Amino acid sequence: MQMSLRWFGSKFDTVTLKQIKQIPGVEGVITTLYDIPAGEVWPIEKIQALKAEVESADLKVLGIESVNIHDAIKIGSPERDQYIANYIETLDNLGKEGITTVCYNFMPVFDWTRTDLAKMRHDGSTVMAYDQSVIDNINPQTFFDQTTSNSKGFEMPGWEPERLAKVQELFAAYAEVSEEKLFDNLVYFLKAIQPVCEKYGIKMAIHPDDPAWPVFNLPRIITSKEKILKLMKAVDAPFNGLTFCAGSFGTNPKNDLPGIIRALPGRIHFAHVRNLQHFSPGVFEEAAHLSRDGSFDLYEIVKALYDIGFDGPVRPDHGRMIWDEVAMPGYGLYDRALGATYINGLYEAIQKNDQRK
Ligand code: DNO
C-alpha cells in the first residue's frame, strides 16, 4: 500500500506539496491536469512539468485522478471515436512518462453528488452531506447552480462549469441512454484503450458511482459488487480495474465493503478510504475517518485490502473542514492528514499482527 494525497496542482489547491511531504508516510500524490477539459489530449510537456514539480518536492506521482471521459463516449454518439483517439493519445503520453494508474468514472452528467457542502457536525466541523429528498424536489439546473455557488469559489472535481453550463442539453443527449447502453459504451471504450494500456502497463481504475443509485433518473452502473464484477468479466484483463471507494459504495448500506474488496483480488488498482454516517435510507453525512465516528468499520476495510495483497496507492478521502481551514469542500489538509495517519496506523497494526503469527 502506498499512502498518497489527492492534489489538484499548485494553481488550484490550497494545500502545498511541502505540506503534503510532511504528512508521515505519504509517498506521493494523486494528481491531474485540472484545467484540461474532458476530451482534450494531455500534452506531454504539461505532464512532464507536473511530474517535475511533484518530484522536486521529493514526492512521486502515484496516479492520475482523473482523466475524465467526454460525454460523447458515455452517450455513444458518432464523435466518440475521435474522443477515444484523444484519450488513447493522453494515455500514451502518460505511459511514456511512467504514470500507470489512471482513475476515471463513467457517471452521466454529474460526477459525485452532495446536497450540502458544509453541514455542521456534532463536533463543530463541517462536512458534505446528502439527502435524497433534496434531489427529488429540485431540477438539475438549479441543483448545479446551487452546488457551484456554495463551493466557496473552488471548482470542484467533476463539476466543470463549461461542461455543466449546458445541463439541459446534456440531459437531452442522455435521454436515450439506458443502463445497458451506458454499460456497452463503457465496454466499447475499454476494449479500444486496451492495447495502449497493455503497452505501458497502465491500470485503469474506474471510480464507483456516488451515491450508488440513479440521481435525477440518470443511469448508474458501478454501484455494487455484482455490477463491478460484471464489468471485470466483460473486459477480463488486469488493466481493467477498480478504484475501491469506501465512501461511494458505502452510500448504500447494503454494500458489504470488505466483501467487495475480497471479491476483487488483482483488480483493485487504487483505494479511497473514508467513513460516512448513515441516518436513514438516502440520508447520510461524511464523518471523520475513525471507525467510531461513522458507520463503517475502517479496520475491516484496511484488513481486507491487506489480505488481498493490495499494493497500489491508497488515499484518505473527503475530510471534514476543521480548525478554521478554508479549502475546497472535502479537500482541506488537516482532516485528510489525520485520515492518512489513522489508515497508516491501522495498516501497521494489521501487518505486525500478521507477521507475528
Ligand atoms: C470526489 C471524487 C470524484 C472522483 C471521480 C473519479 O471527490 O471522489 O470526483 O475523483 O469520480 O473520476
- Average pLDDT across the chain, whole number: 96
272 has catalytic annotation = yes
Q: Which residue has cell 448513515?
A: 278
CA distance 308 to 11: 37
For residue 8, pLDDT over 90 is answered with yes
- For residue 161, the model assigns a pLDDT of 78
Q: Which residue has cell 433518473?
A: 217
> Worst-scoring range by mean pLDDT, 54-58, 212-216, 272-276, 287-291?
212-216
C-alpha 157 – ligand 1 centre gap (Å): 6
C-alpha 38 – ligand 1 centre gap (Å): 14
87 has catalytic annotation = no
Please name the helix (run of DSSP H) or strand (run of DSSP E) that holds residue 315, with its range, or none: strand 313-316
| Atom 1 (ligand 1) nearest CA | 112
Kindly state the cell numbers that stand for 223. Answer: 454501484
For residue 42, pLDDT over 90 is answered with yes
For residue 319, pLDDT over 90 is answered with yes
Please name the helix (run of DSSP H) or strand (run of DSSP E) that holds residue 147, with its range, or none: helix 140-149
Apex 246 CA angle, 249 and 12, nearest 5: 110
Judge whether 296 and 317 are in contact, CB under 8 Å.
no
Judge whether 339 and 330 are in contact, CB under 8 Å.
no
- For residue 93, the model assigns a pLDDT of 98
- Report the SS3 class of residue 198: helix
Q: What is the DSSP string of 54-82?
A: HHHTT-EEEEEE--PPPHHHHHT-TTHHH
> Worst-scoring range by mean pLDDT, 22-26, 62-66, 161-165?
161-165
207 has catalytic annotation = yes
Kindly state the cell numbers that stand for 349. Answer: 497494526
Distances (CA, A) of 154 to 46, 107, 191, 328: 22, 21, 35, 6
Say which residue, 13 or 150, is predicted with more confidence: 13
Q: Which residue has cell 451506458?
A: 182
Judge whether 293 and 284 are in contact, CB under 8 Å.
no
CA distance 8 to 146: 23
| Atom 12 (ligand 1) nearest CA | 104
For residue 148, pLDDT over 90 is answered with no
- Report the SS3 class of residue 259: helix
For residue 177, pLDDT over 80 is answered with yes
Please indicate whether residue 103, judged by its CB atom, sits closer than 6 Å to ligand 1. Answer: yes
**Active-site residue (options: 83, 87, 306, 331):** 331
Please indicate whether residue 105, judged by its CB atom, sits closer than 6 Å to ligand 1. Answer: yes
- For residue 120, the model assigns a pLDDT of 97
C-alpha 287 – ligand 1 centre gap (Å): 17
Domains of the chain with CATH codes:
2-355 (3.20.20.150)
For residue 9, pLDDT over 90 is answered with yes
Q: What is the mean pLDDT of residues 19-43?
A: 97
197 has catalytic annotation = no
How many CB atoms lie under 10 A from the CB of residue 90?
23
- For residue 6, the model assigns a pLDDT of 98
- Report the SS3 class of residue 328: coil
In eight-state DSSP terms, residue 27 is -
34 has catalytic annotation = no
C-alpha 232 – ligand 1 centre gap (Å): 20
Residue % of the chain over a pLDDT of 70: 100
- For residue 357, the model assigns a pLDDT of 84
C-alpha 207 – ligand 1 centre gap (Å): 7
245 has catalytic annotation = yes
CA distance 299 to 64: 26
For residue 145, pLDDT over 90 is answered with no
Q: What is the DSSP string of 102-142?
A: EEEE--SS-SS--SEEEEEPTTS-EEEEEEHHHHHTS-HHH
| CA 243 to ligand 1: nearest atom | 6
For residue 164, pLDDT over 80 is answered with no
Please indicate whether residue 330, judged by its CB atom, sits closer than 6 Å to ligand 1. Answer: yes
Please name the helix (run of DSSP H) or strand (run of DSSP E) that holds residue 245, with its range, or none: strand 240-245
Q: 94 CB contacts (<8 Å, ≥6 apart)?
A: 42, 47, 64, 67, 100, 102, 200, 202
Question: 163 falls in which pLDDT band (50, 70, 90)?
Answer: confident
- The answer to whether the predicted template modeling score (pTM) of the entire model surpasses 0.85 is yes
pLDDT tens string 179-236 = 999 999 999 999 999 999 999 999 999 999 999 999 999 999 999 999 999 999 999 9
pLDDT tens string 279-304 = 999 999 999 999 999 999 999 999 99
Residue 297 — φ and ψ, nearest 5°? -100, 100
- For residue 152, the model assigns a pLDDT of 86
Q: Which residue, 54, 66, 1, is CA-closest to 29? A: 54
**Active-site residue (options: 197, 317, 335, 347):** 317
Please indicate whether residue 207, judged by its CB atom, sits closer than 6 Å to ligand 1. Answer: yes
Please indicate whether residue 240, judged by its CB atom, sits closer than 6 Å to ligand 1. Answer: no
Apex 253 CA angle, 294 and 335, nearest 5: 30
Mutate to test the pocket of ligand 1, among 4, 65, 321 (most ligand atoms within 8 A of CB): 65
